[in-house]
Structure 1
Amino acid sequence: MPSIKKGAGAVWAPAGFAFALAVHAAPAAAADIRGTVADALGQPLAAAALTLKTPDGQVAGQARSDASGQFAFSGAAPGTYAILANKPGFQTGTAIVNLTAQGAAPVKITLASKEALEISVAAERLNKARSGLSPQTGGSVYRLADQDIQALPEGANTSFNQVLLQAPGVANDSFGQLHVRGDHGNLQYRINGVILPEGISGFGQALDSRFAQRIDLLTGALPAQYGYRTAGVVEIETKTRFDQGGRLDLYGGSRGTVNPSVEYGNTQGNLSYYVTGSFLTNNAGIENPTSSSSPIHDRTEQSKGFGYLSYLIDPTTRLTAMFGTYDGKFQIPNNPGQTATPAYLAGAGVAGFDSSKLDERQRESNRYGILALQSSIGANFDYQVALFTRYTSVRFNPDPVGDLVFNGVASQVFRSSSSTGLQGDGTYRLNDSHTLRMGLFASTENIRSDNSSTVFPVDAGGTVTGAPYTIVDNNAKNGNTLMGLYLQDEWRATDKLTVNYGLRADQMDAFVKAGQLSPRLGLVYKATPETTFHASYARYFTPPPTELVSPRTLALFSGTSNAASNMQNDPVQPERSHYFDLGMSHQLTPAFNVGVDAFYKQVTNLLDEGQFGQALIFSPFNYAQGKIYGIELTASYKTDSFSAYANLARTTSLAKQITSAQFNFSQDELDYIASHWIHTDHDQKYTASAGVAYTWLGTQYSADAIYGSGLRRGFANTEHLPSYVQVNLGANRKFQAGELGTLEGRVAVINVFDRVYELRDGSGVGVGAPQFGPRRGLFLGLSKLF
């Protein structure tokens, strides 16, 4: 693909000017007639043809409903009109509207299907039954619907991790990492109720915001069916159709960004399907290690795809298949002005090396597939059984000379993980007061870790004693297993009090063998129709991630420029914790909600990860003890034309004594942490997010902001980085474009005040190179429904 960097401005500037002109020249509100088209179930209907007629039968305008069922007529004179709506497979619908100089009331047209709606009714019932398999009693839930994502400045082009940053207690980090409630990562992703097995971590976002109909972030002390990764459970309800049509979208702008995408779906008989694909390329694939506006050597190309197919076998049984794919290529950005080690320069036989000319690269792949059978037995038992598989890989290619003279080692690293498993969940409604839930999870994983490193031989004093040579260290760990069972009862003790209690049993056999019985208890008390309290306790068992180093690696590098600072390498253990959560939510008005939530987590073998080698791949380790606590405040307001939210979290994450993978740390750090409680490197005292969206004269204006008081830095994380704020602005509008029909234009400005801020400065426990947040960028988009 030819480079488009120089031409990007020429492509997008006229489009931006035209879009700004369209927004500025928008007709007055008095000339707009707006409304929605829906089926008999209340679900929006896209691609419905609408005709605006005068009392004498003249056509005054034509329009087509979008994916949300919305339509608009502009430029009509005040008067009385009839609106006719038509869509294949549905009867014609009509509505009468009176347009005055002040505008017209919103119109809703319901189209009755010419065919029976049993299929839609059955699918909707099964969707509700699937939701019933995953109760959210006792913990905290933050919901983001498709319209909330569309209301962000970048809309569905917003990366998945940036969408989650709008939730309370979610702290931003480099390389796309997120930290929820003071935990390092520890996030679990579920697609339509099925756990997505974790893989090797990389830079790319394998999940796409486009295919999400709704995203729920669950935190706190959760019910018994949630295990393993529990700092936050991300439940994704996917789109299942696109109402007999699709969407083409072209988005791009600053730093050579081009991001085309397509969505398409339909329902044919008992079969419903939805597919989406996107491609992204830009010159800022990874966070810049300098404060400059344009990174050096930071090109990326990323492609994503997702598909959903659902077949209704009978009114109570559905077979669903889902698949996803991701491929990413990354240049590793360079930090100019770095000084190479003189002894390494001499050993490599070069006079010098310009650090801005380094050529490190990384490639990532991610594939997953899920086959799920959902059904009911009688009126009281619902179940879903799913088979899943996932493959991920990361390949890091060094600069063979540059990395050697700067780091003393040039390592080509390949890591892969292949997982296959089974998940089953069931719900049995015993009576009006008790609902029993049970389930199982089992998976097996094969891991491959290859490392080919060029190093110098050195003596006891660290002096280079010969020419560089290569050490091959290839390891595999196959047959890793993870199994879990749970049983719980949701008891409606009174009309106001619901109690959820249960027990979970987990067993793992990988680099270590371990297991645990974990009780859970959650209470929800609805004091008034407007006020709800919740309290919960959970015992958690968290297996270590799969990016582990084999113990024999250490001995191979003795006497080289890549030798470990010490030879201690105790195995990484699973984390065990007690989690307590207490909160309240209150509905001040039908549109205005507020909430507060406090939490405390007491941990043994606290899991953390760090970047210890030259490759930007993370490796896990344990602290002997940990304690995490904090409080979250949330508020949201939503009407038809205006919405706003604000979140503030205060969190403390402390740990003591490193007890595994000790060879990654200097001895003075190990000694200090052994006798002192320290802040974990991902600890951020204050985290906040806020956003607003307002529709005026047919254009939706939006803004969002994130704030962080700064992640940790310095020796043993004893300091923290400066605080920062990033503000983003956006606007989008639907408009008629002649024969092209309805188009939607979007403009977004990221970091509008061009605030320069540093996420990492290269210091701290397990922290590698410095990384800065994004500089100001202008992005434009144009989409078309078809």
Structure 2
Amino acid sequence: MPANARPGAHLKKPLPSTSSASAPANRSAAVQAPPPEHLRITASRGSSGREALPPGLGATQTRFSAKALAAIPGGDNASLNSVLLQAPGVAQDSFGQLHIRGDHGNVQYRLDGVMLPEGVNLFSQALMTRFAHDLSLTVGALPAQFGFRQAGVVDIHTRNGVEDAHAGLQFYGGARDNLQPSALWGGRLGKWDWYLTADAVHDRVGIENPTPRFNAPHDLTNQYHFMGHLRYTASEHTQFSLTAGVANAWFQLPNNPAQQRQFASPVWRGHSVPASDPASAALNEHQAELGDFGIFSWQEKRGAIKATTSAVVHASAVRYSPDPVGDLVYNGMAERAARSVFTAGVQSDVEWRAAPAHTVRMGFQAYGARSVTRTDADVYPVQPGSNGAGSDGDTPVFLPTPVTIHQGSGRTGALYGVYAQDEYRVRPGLVLNGGLRFDGVNEYVSATQFSPRFSLVWTPWRNGRFHASYARYFTPPAFQTVSGNSLAAYRNTSGAPPNLSGPDSAVKPERDNSFDFGFMQEVTRGWQVSVDGYFKQAHNLLDEGQFGAPIILTSYNYRRGRVHGVEFTTDYTHGPLTLYGNMAWSRAMGKGITSSQWNFSPEDLAYMRHHWVHLDHDQRWTASAGAAYGFFAHTSHPFNLSATMVYGSGLRRDGTGTRAGVPNGGVLPQYVTFNLGLVQDIFLNAHSSGSGLFGMSEEGRLRLRLDVINLFDRSYRLRDGSGIGVGAPQYGLRRTILGGISYTL
């Protein structure tokens, strides 16, 4: 896994860019003064398919421009999730997970406006930062065009052969055997243009360290990724494009030394295993993750009407291989697990400027999916005649020879939605957007819902804007987090879940009322501030947790949920200087478990039936900040210095002291980390084009990069192994020094 950098630079709620990419100047021309590095500058989206979200629709958008992505620590080698940590209200968790505004997951990823169906992958990411020309994160009470996953919408404007017409090689790496070679090629020929990129990753920080040590035992990862974009511009009205990606990742699961054995050594394959084997520091567990996708789009622009229709396929799979003896000794079950999901569907969107004051948008999405789960689990059987209890009536007595339980299941499901909305400019400075969405799911559960959406945006004075929005949400459970296998098969074995005697209801869709309100003001040229508040009232609130040794998440519902918070942001850009910062306060609570009850102890179920509890990913305070400054900008050897910061007040853990026994009743310690990035560019064929980090042409550029992650080597915990659905402790990355060299042809 790429080093867990904390990069980024962003702008809250910018106005859409109307600039276009300028043609390169004559290569023999003298070096020109580049344009100032404003994060408000975004690349032209005229050729990218769907457009950026208009500010009149009332949602809150954070944008990462191409120049911001290049300047951050790690640059395009940083993981996509680490970039998003610089946006307001985004909290980090173990396994590279993100929580946006108090939600677990529930993030929608789009490529040029086309939604990518979810996959079963957990540690790895099929989407790479190096494939993004720029990207945005949209949150709030979303308009009707967004459905299914609504905590946040990440839209990646992919690189293409028009805006990124160059080729290059890069070698990047450093501490802990980190090595990331990569290559790219963008170009155009006639009506065709293309962009291709590939990389490989070798690293000994595949998953977060379960100990505070500098290096984790047994934590190697090998990965490769490929992404490509091919486009054919048939005419000024018609475009066809194909976007595809392949990701393959293999992980060792890191070991936690000096753990207490929970079960006696088994008689394995007819031989007794020594009581001292294996040590918890010597286990050998692995997980492999695959993810492939393809998107074919057809775009038409005719007068006042723009329409885009896309066919999408996404295949993903996870395979977990246990330590056959060690998992039995420490967990009571050694489970070889495989889960895969294949999804195919279509998305169509139409925008019609029906009148000067009305912009009508409508469309639909429909997906069919096939989920397959297979497990082969070795478990200890309960001694016959003991009824699952020992002489004290409480402690089960297990036979030393394991038995194997084989299970397999498959389910085909469907997900669909249709919407219509009207952006009505009531008068100058006042925009009302109203819409209606209908969604349905037929997977492990069948349900439908009509969802009204409204927003009002008021601009009472120059560069000041208020917004207030309401959205009714329908969120189906992620198909890949619901297994068709039966936990009842583990009755009277060491693999039995905590509460087999209770109900085990099916996971249900979440239904929400979501409210969002805020204000943004540009104080002076280059400096703006904003405040945004939100409240969500949920029925059957969805959450996910790890229950069992394979790190495959399982969905469950709280009967009721409520999430609310407020975000403060500011950013300033002047010449070569960029500064930004944000702070968010959030509270996410749930009450009463109404599905997957077998995974919870009777005591926890009883407590949560009558009490509100914090969600395991609830974090009261989250903050990030950054700065960047460009030196020697008017020369052929500009230098950029950047720094970022991430702060978290701590995720939840089980209660201690007076709150002992309260699920998620405690808080982990707060932490703060800093990162540093230095970029030295040397333009061998220097001429100004506005396309590079310093306003120079990308062609003939030699780039030297040095990044320091966790500059002050802070040791901090993301998890301590306790809390609902939390499997093991995880610590943040210790100080990591990385460097690289790249050359763009």
Normalised to the residue count of structure 2, the TM-score between the two structures is: 0.89
Task: Name the aligned partner's letter for residue 285 of structure 2.
Answer: E
Kindly provide the CA deviation profile for residues 53-81 of structure 1, in whole angstroms up to 9, marking residues without a partner as x: xxxxxxxxxxxxxxxxxxx5xxxxxxxxx
Q: Of residues 123, 127, 139 in structure 2, which corresponds to 1:203?
A: 123
* Aligned counterparts of 1:674 and 1:582: Cα–Cα separation in 2: 32
Q: Please state if 1:272 is matched with 2:197.
A: no
Aligned to 1:322: 243
Name the SS for the 2:556 alignment partner: strand
Structure ID, larger Rg: 1
Distance 1:342 1:409, change over 3 A: closer
Q: Please state if 1:593 is matched with 2:528.
A: yes
Task: Name the aligned partner's letter for residue 250 of structure 1.
Answer: F
Q: Please state if 1:144 is matched with 2:64.
A: yes
Task: Name the aligned partner's letter for residue 646 of structure 2.
Answer: I
Distance 1:392 1:134, change over 3 A: farther
Q: Of residues 480, 484, 494 in structure 2, which corresponds to 1:561?
A: 494
Name the SS for the 1:650 alignment partner: strand
* Aligned counterparts of 2:122 and 2:247: Cα–Cα separation in 1: 12
Q: Of residues 708, 711, 723 in structure 1, which corresponds to 2:670?
A: 723
Tell me the CA shift for residue 261 of structure 1.
1.1
Name the SS for the 1:716 alignment partner: coil
Map 1:452-463 to 2 at 5 A.
452-459=376-383, 460-461=388-389, 462-463=396-397
* Aligned counterparts of 1:738 and 1:591: Cα–Cα separation in 2: 31
Distance 1:737 1:500, change over 3 A: closer
Aligned to 2:21: 43
Distance 1:406 1:756, change over 3 A: same
Aligned to 2:317: 393
Q: Please state if 1:711 is matched with 2:644.
A: no
Distance 1:124 1:410, change over 3 A: closer
Q: Of residues 194, 197, 208 in structure 1, which corresponds to 2:114?
A: 194
Q: Please state if 1:609 is matched with 2:544.
A: yes
Aligned to 1:759: 718
Distance 1:249 1:136, change over 3 A: farther
Tell me the CA shift for residue 465 of structure 1.
2.5
Tell me the CA shift for residue 442 of structure 1.
0.3
Aligned to 2:399: 465
Query: Does structure 2 retain, via aligned residues, the 8 Å contact 1:344–1:408?
Result: no
Query: Does structure 1 retain, via aligned residues, the 8 Å contact 2:304–2:354?
Result: yes
* Aligned counterparts of 2:45 and 2:582: Cα–Cα separation in 1: 32
Name the SS for the 1:183 alignment partner: coil
Aligned to 1:383: 307
Task: Name the aligned partner's letter for residue 406 of structure 2.
Answer: V
Map 1:111-260 to 2 at 5 A.
125-127=46-48, 130-131=50-51, 137-241=57-161, 243-260=164-181
Q: Of residues 705, 708, 732 in structure 2, which corresponds to 1:746?
A: 705
Aligned length: 680
Map 1:471-482 to 2 at 5 A.
471-478=405-412, 480-482=413-415
* Higher RCO (CA-CA < 8 Å; seq separation 6+): 2
Distance 1:500 1:330, change over 3 A: same
Task: Name the aligned partner's letter for residue 465 of structure 1.
Answer: L
Q: Please state if 1:621 is matched with 2:580.
A: no
Map 1:16-27 to 2 at 5 A.
none
Runs (5+) with no aligned partner, structure 1: 1-39, 53-71, 73-94, 96-104, 109-122
Kindly provide the CA deviation profile for residues 645-667 of structure 1, in whole angstroms up to 9, marking residues without a partner as x: 10100000000001100111111
* Aligned counterparts of 1:130 and 1:592: Cα–Cα separation in 2: 29
Distance 1:669 1:107, change over 3 A: closer
Query: Does structure 2 retain, via aligned residues, the 8 Å contact 1:252–1:779?
Result: yes
Aligned to 2:442: 509
* Aligned counterparts of 1:342 and 1:408: Cα–Cα separation in 2: 6
* Aligned counterparts of 1:136 and 1:417: Cα–Cα separation in 2: 37
Q: Please state if 1:340 is matched with 2:340.
A: no
> Greater CA deviation, 591-600 or 134-143?
134-143
Aligned to 2:695: none
Runs (5+) with no aligned partner, structure 2: 1-17, 37-43, 390-395, 633-637, 655-661, 687-698
Tell me the CA shift for residue 44 of structure 1.
4.7
Q: Of residues 268, 271, 282 in structure 2, which corresponds to 1:357?
A: 282
Tell me the CA shift for residue 528 of structure 1.
1.2
Query: Does structure 2 retain, via aligned residues, the 8 Å contact 1:744–1:784?
Result: yes
Name the SS for the 1:731 alignment partner: strand
Query: Does structure 2 retain, via aligned residues, the 8 Å contact 1:332–1:359?
Result: yes
Map 1:278-289 to 2 at 5 A.
278-289=199-210
Query: Does structure 2 retain, via aligned residues, the 8 Å contact 1:47–1:244?
Result: no
Aligned to 1:699: 639
* Aligned counterparts of 1:476 and 1:552: Cα–Cα separation in 2: 9
Distance 1:46 1:360, change over 3 A: farther
Tell me the CA shift for residue 130 of structure 1.
2.3
**Greater share of helix:** 1
Name the SS for the 1:150 alignment partner: helix
Distance 1:549 1:486, change over 3 A: closer
* Aligned counterparts of 2:71 and 2:52: Cα–Cα separation in 1: 28
Q: Percent identity?
A: 42
> Greater CA deviation, 626-635 or 451-460?
451-460
Root-mean-square deviation (Å): 2.0
Tell me the CA shift for residue 757 of structure 1.
0.1
* Aligned counterparts of 1:732 and 1:267: Cα–Cα separation in 2: 29
Distance 1:683 1:48, change over 3 A: farther
Query: Does structure 2 retain, via aligned residues, the 8 Å contact 1:201–1:618?
Result: no
Task: Name the aligned partner's letter for residue 560 of structure 1.
Answer: T
Task: Name the aligned partner's letter for residue 629 of structure 2.
Answer: Y
Kindly provide the CA deviation profile for residues 424-468 of structure 1, in whole angstroms up to 9, marking residues without a partner as x: 000111110111110000000000000110001014121112510
* Aligned counterparts of 2:439 and 2:420: Cα–Cα separation in 1: 12
Tell me the CA shift for residue 46 of structure 1.
6.1
Name the SS for the 1:547 alignment partner: helix
* Aligned counterparts of 1:629 and 1:45: Cα–Cα separation in 2: 47
> Greater CA deviation, 405-414 or 543-552?
543-552
Q: Of residues 573, 576, 583 in structure 2, which corresponds to 1:638?
A: 573
Aligned to 1:369: 294
Task: Name the aligned partner's letter for residue 453 of structure 1.
Answer: A
Query: Does structure 1 retain, via aligned residues, the 8 Å contact 2:264–2:400?
Result: no
Normalised to the residue count of structure 1, the TM-score between the two structures is: 0.84
Query: Does structure 2 retain, via aligned residues, the 8 Å contact 1:133–1:383?
Result: no
Query: Does structure 1 retain, via aligned residues, the 8 Å contact 2:266–2:400?
Result: no
Kindly provide the CA deviation profile for residues 520-577 of structure 1, in whole angstroms up to 9, marking residues without a partner as x: 0011111112100111000000000123455661221111100122232100000000
Name the SS for the 1:674 alignment partner: helix
Distance 1:580 1:372, change over 3 A: same
* Aligned counterparts of 2:554 and 2:165: Cα–Cα separation in 1: 46
Query: Does structure 2 retain, via aligned residues, the 8 Å contact 1:252–1:781?
Result: yes
* Aligned counterparts of 2:228 and 2:433: Cα–Cα separation in 1: 35
* Aligned counterparts of 1:329 and 1:432: Cα–Cα separation in 2: 54
Task: Name the aligned partner's letter for residue 731 of structure 1.
Answer: L
Distance 1:736 1:442, change over 3 A: closer
* Aligned counterparts of 2:484 and 2:339: Cα–Cα separation in 1: 16
Kindly provide the CA deviation profile for residues 613-634 of structure 1, in whole angstroms up to 9, marking residues without a partner as x: 1001100000000000000001
Name the SS for the 2:50 alignment partner: helix
Tell me the CA shift for residue 503 of structure 1.
0.2
Query: Does structure 2 retain, via aligned residues, the 8 Å contact 1:344–1:406?
Result: no
Aligned to 2:12: none
* Aligned counterparts of 1:453 and 1:570: Cα–Cα separation in 2: 23
* Aligned counterparts of 2:81 and 2:97: Cα–Cα separation in 1: 8
Q: Please state if 1:538 is matched with 2:462.
A: no
Tell me the CA shift for residue 754 of structure 1.
0.3
Name the SS for the 1:415 alignment partner: strand
* Aligned counterparts of 2:290 and 2:180: Cα–Cα separation in 1: 19
Q: Please state if 1:416 is matched with 2:349.
A: no
Query: Does structure 2 retain, via aligned residues, the 8 Å contact 1:133–1:425?
Result: no
Tell me the CA shift for residue 343 of structure 1.
2.8
Name the SS for the 1:287 alignment partner: coil
Tell me the CA shift for residue 346 of structure 1.
6.9
